[in-house]
Amino acid sequence: MIGFSPSEEQNMIVNTVKQFATDVMRKKFRDCDEAGEIPAEIIDGAWELGLVASCIPEQLGGAGWEHSALTGTLLAEELAWGDLSMAMHILAPSLAILPIVEMGTEEQKKKYLPALCGNKFTAATAAFIEPLYDFDPNEFSTTAKRNSGYTLNGQKCYVPLAAGADFILVYAGEGEERQCFIVEKGTKGLEIGEREQNMGIKALATYELNLKDCKVPAENRLGGKKGSDFNRLANLSRVALASMAVGVARASFEFSRDYAKERHAFGEPIASRQAIAFMLADMAIEVDAARLLNWEAAWKLDRNEDATREACLAKSYADNMVMLVTDYGVQVMGGHGYVRDNPVELWFRNARGFTTFTGMAIV
């Protein structure tokens, strides 16, 4: 039976994250976007909530919570409602933590997870997207050739926090398979480029990677000889990004709704005009529809079922939905929506990127 009432624990997590998003993220997101960076105290404050490293086993320094994709979608939506750049920065270590927790060998868990359990934020990340106009996540151009270990060749882009990460989880094609490889900082053949200049998520530091005959030991293949379940990792990423899209869209809708109620023209609130009222109604419908699609995918993932169809539908719908809702947000405000003093233009810029953010978040 599918239920729509969060558990007591989930409500506690959502309320905690929403409070942080309201009190901290919402007060600084414009300054961070303009400056192109996020103050360390904000990231450390989010880290202290214990949300990212909570699934790491207790014996390795974590809280040992059972991982839940559905709980992850709830907290990702609230963080993205606060600000997308900050949300992606805060959750970036999950790109490495969750795959290692679920699919890593015991040796990989003992080697890499304890360092991610400290009191201060520690960067870890994954390299998924490739700088190709016809990039297909089902067929990576980045290759992994087996020899005494593995040799990686290829290019990656939109890699969050790559410059500060001690290791990067690199996705590559190994023959007919798609696998992940743990590449440590300083490995010969790993080149981290200059920070990328993006239209949106301007406060998030992303980088391009070049892998030129980058050699990693055989034991750094995620899961060892068994390997990893790429489809599950891809689906966890899809629901994470879809939930973030819902958060950004919800922010735009709520701001536009409140503005339309307060803004008077010709003696009445503009929300009473059909053109505005219908847009607001469509925004509300689209946000709820995308959220419910995504919850279904997350629910199936928590049951260890194949959620590829549901996750792809949720991600595709959310990509289109967030563009529509943020565009409507600009339209509701008229000329004011195009001015940088208002947040709707920032949400619109961030929303444009969701079609290309594949693999940049995981819950």
Q: What is the CATH number of the domain that holds 190?
A: 2.40.110.10
**32 part of a folded domain:** yes
Q: Tell me: do 109 and 139 sit in the same domain.
A: no
**363 part of a folded domain:** no
CA distance 244 to 82: 10
Q: Tell me: do 241 and 299 sit in the same domain.
A: yes
Residue 360 burial (10 A CB sphere; 0-12, 13-18, 19+): buried
Tens-digit pLDDT profile for residues 124-169: 999 999 999 899 988 999 999 999 999 999 999 999 999 999 999 9
Quote the number of domains for the chain: 3
Q: Tell me: do 168 and 133 sit in the same domain.
A: yes
- Residue 158: left if φ>0, alpha if ψ -120 to 50, beta else—which one? left
Domain of 65? Answer: 8-116
| Alpha carbon 41 to chain centroid, angstroms | 20
3-state secondary structure the chain: CCCCCCCHHHHHHHHHHHHHHHHHHHHHHHHHHHHCCCCHHHHHHHHCCCCCCCCCCHHHCCCCCCCCHHHHHHHHHHHHHHCHHHHHHHHCCHHHHHHHHHHCCHHHHHHHCHHHCCCCCCCCEEECCCCCCCCCCCCCCCEEEECCCEEEEEEEEEEECHHHCCEEEEEEEECCEEEEEEEECCCCCEEEEEECCCCCCCCCCEEEEEEEEEEECHHHECCCCCCCCHHHHHHHHHHHHHHHHHHHHHHHHHHHHHHHHHCEECCEEHHHCHHHHHHHHHHHHHHHHHHHHHHHHHHHHHCCCCCHHHHHHHHHHHHHHHHHHHHHHHHHCHHHHHCCCCCHHHHHHHHHHHHHCCCCCCC
**340 part of a folded domain:** yes
**343 part of a folded domain:** yes
Q: Tell me: do 302 and 262 sit in the same domain.
A: yes
152: its two tokens: 């990686």
Q: Tell me: do 136 and 163 sit in the same domain.
A: yes
The pLDDT value recorded for residue 3 is: 72
Residues 6+ apart with CB under 8 A from 222: 99, 100, 103, 104, 108, 169, 179, 180, 181, 182, 228
User: The domain that contains 248 carries what CATH number?
Assistant: 1.20.140.10
Q: Tell me: do 99 and 134 sit in the same domain.
A: no
CA distance 329 to 259: 10
CA distance 173 to 138: 9
77: its two tokens: 């939506």
Per the DSSP assignment, residues forming a β-bridge with 221 are 181
Tens-digit pLDDT profile for residues 89-129: 999 999 999 999 999 999 999 999 999 998 889 999 999 99
CA distance 195 to 208: 7
The long-range contacts involving 262-270, CB below 8 angstroms and separated by at least 24 positions, are 270/332
Q: Are 166 and 187 within 8 A, CB to CB?
A: no
Counting Cα atoms < 13 Å in the Cβ hemisphere of 49 gives: 22
Q: Tell me: do 349 and 240 sit in the same domain.
A: yes
Residues of the chain with pLDDT under 70: 1-2
203: its two tokens: 């406060």
